Amino acid sequence: MECSRRDQVTTENQYTMQNPLTQYPQPEFPNQTQTAPGSVHQLQPAADHGETSYKGFGRLAGRKALVTGADSGIGRAAAIAYAREGADVVLNYLAEEEADAQEVVRLIEAEGRKAICIPGDLKDESFCRSLVSKAVDALGGLDILTNVAGKQTAQKDIAELTTEQFDATFKTNVYAMFWLCQAALPHMPSGATIINTASIQAYQPSETLLDYAPTKSAIVAFTKALAKQVISKGIRVNAVAPGPFWTPLQPSGGQPPEKIPSFGSETPMGRAGQPAECAPIYVLLASQESSYITGEVFGVTGGNPLP
């Protein structure tokens, strides 16, 4: 079976009307594994992060954004979209992801926007706090905090799930979000937004993701609680909950290897989502267009509805 029909579709930009079922590659995908944290260049087929498909309209002109996990996947797509909409962007990622991150830098700078790289490990509280401080200094402020970076490692049996992995998953996905939000809020003016990244796993957990799924449930609850706490300051907090998205996270340990060829086929759309399909939601929640939206979780799941 062909792994993709993308070459049969003209994806000029995200506004070109087309059949969403055949807009992007469909399973079966080739068998593949990567060493964590993975690279976009090893994905077969290639993922779309909006490099050529996302067109902006100045909806974030003059805004100052910090995006974690900005080298690949959904974070990469959000960073590209923010720049195309007029924002300057601080990109966070792991040091070993530098090559992928530099590609995002070039795309942002091609839009005439500022791109600041601050690599580092979000499991480190002191780094998270310094990341915010450096972002504020580099951009002259901060009004969009987008927490995308996450750790996901599939384990088939609870006996194989170590305390070290459990701790690292919660540190990356939950603690880092808390540290970054706590550090960022004193710098954020009225009209600023925080966008967290939950998952369909918060509502429909997979049996192999005993540590990852609870972190996403925590993100949902944290988002709703923080939204109530800070709206009196004119700051909104929302979350995006993706379903199965084609990113390096999946073949680098996020899924059991045998599930990669059919990844995404369980959705009503019959395919995995592409990062570029998630970016518009992040833009909406970062922009003034969503001024009456806070404490919400937006599913991007290929047809599997959230509760």
**Considering its fold, how many domains does the chain have in total?**
1
The two tokens of residue 149 are: 């970076």
Domain range for residue 91?
Answer: 50-300
**Cβ–Cβ under 8 Å, residues 23 and 246:** no
Integer Cα distance of 103 and 157 in angstroms:
38
Mean pLDDT computed over every residue of the chain: 94
Summarised one tens digit per residue, pLDDT across range 116-140 is 999 999 999 999 999 999 999 999 9
Asked if the structure places residue 234 within a domain, the reply is yes
Residues forming the active site: 212
**pTM to 2 decimals?**
0.94
DSSP 46-99: PP--STTT----STTTT-EEEEETTTSHHHHHHHHHHHHTT-EEEEE--GGGHH
Q: How many other C-beta atoms can be found within 10 angstroms of the C-beta atom of residue 117?
A: 17
Residue 32 covered by a domain: no
In this structure, is residue 2 part of a structural domain? no
Is residue 287 within 8 A of residue 60, CB to CB? The reply is: yes
Predicted confidence (pLDDT) at residue 85 exceeds the cutoff of 80: yes
Q: What is the band of 4 on the pLDDT scale with cuts at 50, 70, 90?
A: very low
Q: Is residue 8 part of a domain?
A: no
Indicate whether 35 belongs to any domain.
no
Indicate which CATH number applies to the domain containing 204.
3.40.50.720
pLDDT digits (tens, 9 = 90+) for 161-174: 999 999 999 999 99
pLDDT at residue 10 in the model: 41
User: Per the domain annotation, does 305 fall within a domain?
Assistant: no
Structure tokens at 13: 């930009």
For the cut 80, the answer to whether the pLDDT of residue 5 exceeds it is no
Q: Is 4 part of any domain?
A: no
User: Can you give the pLDDT at residue 14?
Assistant: 77
Contacts of 164 (CB under 8 A, 6+ apart): none
For 198-213, the pLDDT digits (tens) are 999 999 999 999 999 9
Q: Of all residues in the chain, what percent carry a pLDDT higher than 70?
A: 96
* pLDDT value for 12: 61
Q: What is the pLDDT of residue 221?
A: 98
